[in-house]
Structure 1
Amino acid sequence: MRNKIKEIYEFCKERGKIQYLYTICMLIPLILTDSIILYTVIQSANAKKRHTMENIASAVKYSMVNRVENVANTAKKIYLNKYIERFLEREFESPMDYVTIQQLFMKDTLLENVLGDTTLITMYADNDGIVNGGMFARIEVARKTKWYKHLQDSGQNQVLYLYYDDSRYPASERKRKLVFVKKLNYFLREKEKVLKLELDYSSMTKSLKNMNYEAPIYVCEGDTILMSNQGKNSIGKPFETFQNNGKTGYTKDLTLYGMDLQIYVMDEGGVRASYLAENLPIVIIVFLVNIIFPILLVSEMNKNKLREQEMKLARKNAELLALHSQINPHFLFNALESIRMHSVLKQEYETASMVEKLATMERQNVEWGNDSVEIRQEIEFVKAYLGLQKYRFGDRLSFELDVEESCESLKIPKLTIVTFVENACVHGIESKTSPGWIFVRAYKEQDGLCIEIEDTGCGMEEEYMNELRTKMEQASIESLKEKGRVGIINACLRLKMVTNDAAKFELDGEKGMGTMVLIRIPLVYLQ
C-alpha cells in the first residue's frame, strides 16, 4: 500500500514537472510570440491605413490646387492685358456706343479664347458708360456683394473666397459659390476695376465623388464644409458645418490665395478586416510553427520589406488616380469649337448654337470608367477626331491610319494616340498654309508594340525638340505643373506608370518639314 501511494506521488510529481516545463518552454513563449505577432499585424494594418489616408488627402489636394491654379492663370492673362484695361476705362457716349464698341472689342481681341472650360468671368469697372450684362458690369453692382467686401477687407490684390449667395431672388436662384477675385490695376489706376472668376462648384464636387474613395472626405474652410464625398454638396443649400467627433484619421492643410483649407480623411474606426485578412495566412503559419518551435518564432517575423512595398504601391495608385481625374479631353472641345466657328462664318447661327450647347453638355458629362481601351477603339476615336478636323481644314488636311490586325486587340491607356494626333493638328497642320498629312501607324516589332504619329506640318526648332524629348522621357507628376504641351506629357506619364517606366519615346523632325513621334511599349504590359 505504501509503495502504491509512493508511485502516485512520484507520478504527480513528474506530471507537475511536465506541466511546469510545458508552461515555461511552450505556453508562455506561445502567448508572448502570438501577442507580438498580433500586435505587429495590427500596427502594420494601422500604418497601411494611415498611408492610404495620406495618399487620399494628397490626391484631393492635387486636384484642388490644379483647378484653382488654372483659374488663377486665366486671371493673370486678363490682368496683363492692356487692351482690356483700356476698354474698361474708356468713355462711352451712349449705351449704343458701348454695345457697338464692346462687340468690336470682343471680336478683335478674341477674349473668350483665354477663358477656362468651367469658368464664369465678370469684369467690373467704375465706368458709368458700361451697360451691365455679359462679361462686363459697373462697379456699384459688385460693391453690394460679400466677395467684394472680403477683397477690400483682406487688403490683398487677389483672393479666393467661398460664400453662399443668398442675395438672389427667388430663393431657387441662391447658390453656393467659390470665386477668384483680382484687382485690375496693372496698367491704369484711374478707375477702380475688379475681375471675378467663378469656379464650377458642381464640377468640383463631381470630381471628388468620381475618385471613388470609400473613406469619408471633407474639404473645409474652418468649420464650413466646402465639399465632401458624403452627399453634402447641394449647390442650392447653405454650407453645412463640419462635425469632427474625434473621428478624423488624417488632416492636410492647404492655403490657396488667402483661403485656409483643411482636407479631412475620416477614420471609419478599428482595423479593417481586409487588412487583417491579408496577413491571416502568415499568422496561421507562424502560429503552427510556434507550437513546434516556439524559440524560432520571433526570428521569422521580419515583415518590414513587405510593408514598404505595400506603401509604395498605395502611393503610386493614389498618384495615378489624381492624374486620371485631372485629364480633360480638351481636343474634343477644340473640335467642337472648330465646327461652331465654321457655322458662324457661314451665318449658320442655329447650328453654331447647337454645337456650343453640345460642347457644354459634353464638358459636364465626361467620365472615364476604365482607363484602358483596345487600339481598334482608340483608332476609331482618332478617325472621328480627324474627320472633324477635316471639316475645319478642308483640303489642307489629309490623313492615313495603318494598324496591323494583330495589334487591334492590345489595350493602351485611353486617349493616348489621339492626344499626339491632336498635337499634330494644332501645332503642325494649323500653322502651315500648304496642304499637310498626318500618318498613324501601329505594328509589332520583336516583343514590343510600336506606335508612330507623323505629320508633314511646320515642324519645330532643334532646341525646342530636344527640350520636349527630355520632358517626355522624364514625365512626372511635378512636370505637369509646367506650361506647354501638357497633354503630351500627361500621355507619356500615364504610359510610364502603367508599364512600370518600360515605355520609351522617340521624337524626330525638322523645322518646316514635319515631326514624328515613336512610342515603344513591351507587349507584356498590354495583354
Structure 2
Amino acid sequence: MKNFKILNNYSIRSKLLLIYLVCVLVPMTVTNSIFYITIRNSEEKEQRINMEHSIDRVKYNLDAVFDDCVLVSDHLYKDITLNDFINKRYDNLLSYYDRYIFLLQNNVIKYYYGPQHVYQVTIFTDNNTISDSDNFVKLTPKIRESEWYKRFGNNKEAMTISVFYDEDKKLSINNMARTISIIRKLDNFDKTHENILRIDVDYNVILNNILNEKMEDNIYICNNEFVLFSNRKSGVGPDKFDSVDSIQGENVKLNDFYKFKMSKEKWNIIITEKGMSPFLKIIEKKELFIELIILNLILPTIIIALISHSIGNRIALLNIYLRKVENEEFSIIEEYSYEKDEIGKLIRSYNMMVLRIKELIEVVFKRDVEKQRLELAKKQAELKALQSQVNPHFMFNTLESIRMRSLIKGEVETAEIIENLSALLRKTINWGEDNITIEDEMRFVENYLQIQKYRFGDKLSYSFYVMEKCKNIKIPKLSILSFVENACVHGIEEVSHDASINVAIFKYDNNLIIEISDTGIGIDEVKLNSIREKLNNAKIETLNNSKSTGVLNTYMRLQMYCNNGMQFEIESKIGEGTEVTIQICLDEIKLINHAVKENENINY
C-alpha cells in the first residue's frame, strides 16, 4: 500500500470525483439502462394490479360501512316503539321524560350505536312537544334552511346520501365537522307527521381504511363537488372539504367509481401518480444479475479501498487526538503534518488550535473568571442595597397615625393596631428570606391595611382576590405591600370621600398577574409620565439619589427577581384612582427557583 501514498497529495475533491466517475457514473449508467428497459413493463403491470386491488378493498370497506348504517336505518324505520314515541303529543316535559326513560330502558336508543360505523343517529320531527336532545331534535326553520335538508327535499329517492360541512361540530370534542349522512323519512307507520332520520357515518372509519392502504400514489374518493377522502393526510375532520378541482393537473393512473346500493348516487375513486415512479424492483434474472455484480462491485472496491486507506488512517488518528482534547490533554500531531491534501491541512490547523487553546486557558480564561467574580460581587452588593432601603417611611407614618389617634381619643383600642404593627416590624427588621409565598405576602398586606383602616376609619375599604393556584408562588418580600402602601399614602389620604383598595392575583395563560387598584385622588399626566420614565430607566444609582424609594425599590427587586422579564403598567386618572398591573412569566419563576435550589445544594 505504500506505493499508493501518492494519493495523499491529491485533494479530497479530486478523489471524490474519481470515485464518482468510476464507482457511480459508469456503473449507474449501464445498469440503469438495462434495468429500466427490463423492469418497466412488468413494474407497470404489477402497479396496475395493486391499484385495482386497492380499489376493490376500498369498495368492500365502503360496502361494510354503509351496509351497517342501512341496517340501523331499517331497524329504526320498522320500530313501532320509536314511532309511537316521536308521534305522541306530550302534555308536559315530565310526561315526555317518563316516556324517554322508558325508551332508554327498552334499549332502543342504545341499539343504534351497536355498529362501529355509526357516528351519530338524529331524528328530526315536527312534534313540538318533545325536548331537544342528542338523538331527537325539533324541525326548526333553521334546520329546514340547512344544506342537507334542502338536498334531501329536492331528491325524490326514499333514501339519500348527503355530504356537507357541519359548522356546529367544528368545535366539538371529536372535531368531526365533515359529515356524511344517510337520510330517510320515518313514515312507515304514520305519514301525517314529518319525521326524518339522519344517520351520520363515522368519517374516521372510512378515512383510516384509506390511510391503511399504504400506497405510494395518491388515492381520492370524490363526489361531483368535493374530495371526500384521500390518503394524503390524517386528522382532517375539522377541515372543510377540498374542491374536486384541487386534483386537476395530477397524472391520473386509474379512475373507477363506487355505486351505492340504496341510492343512485355514485362516488369516483381516483388514483393519481405521486411524483415520478421509480422502477427499483429487481427481477430474478440470475445471469444478468451476476454480470452486473462483477461490474458494479469489483472495480469500485479496488478504487475505494485505495482512497479509504488514504483518508481513513489519518482521520482515525485525528479523532484519537481530538478525544484527548475532550479530556483536556492537548498534544500535537507531528506525523502527517507535512502532507498537502485537505487532511494534512486539517492536521496542521489542529496543531495551531491546540497551541491557541493553551494560550486562551492561561490568559483569557483566567481573566474572564476574575471578571465574573467581580460582576457577581457587584450584583450581590446591589441586592443588599435594595434590601436595606425597603419602606422605612411607611413605618414612621403608621406610628405617627397611632400616636395622633391615641392623643386625640385617649382609647385603649390602639393595642390591636400596635400588635399588627409589631408583626410587620418583626418581618421587615428580621429580613430572612428575600422571597416569600404570595399567601404570606397577603398576610402582611392585610395587617397593614387594618392599621390604615384604624387611621382612616370608614373612609377606607379594601378587598382581596387570590386564585388558589397562586398562593404558593414565591415573590420578593413586601413587593405587593409597597404598592398598597403607596396607594394609601398618595391616593387615599388626599381624598375626602370614601375610597377603596383592591388586590387581585391570578394566572392567565402561563403568566402570573398582580393587579393593585385604588379609587383615590389619582395622578396627573405629567407626574405619571415622570414616574414611568423613572421606572424604565431605573438603576441602583438612581435609587441611591432618589428621595422616594418605595415603588422604585420594589420595581427593581421584581425585575432582578425575574431576569428583567417583568411587564409593568401603571394607569391613573385624576379623581378616579390608580391601577398597577404586574405580569411575570411563570416559566421564569420556575427557572429561578430551580437555580436557587441548585445553588443551595452546591453551598451545602
Q: TM-score, normalised by structure 1?
A: 0.44
Higher relative contact order (CA 8 A, sep 6+): 1
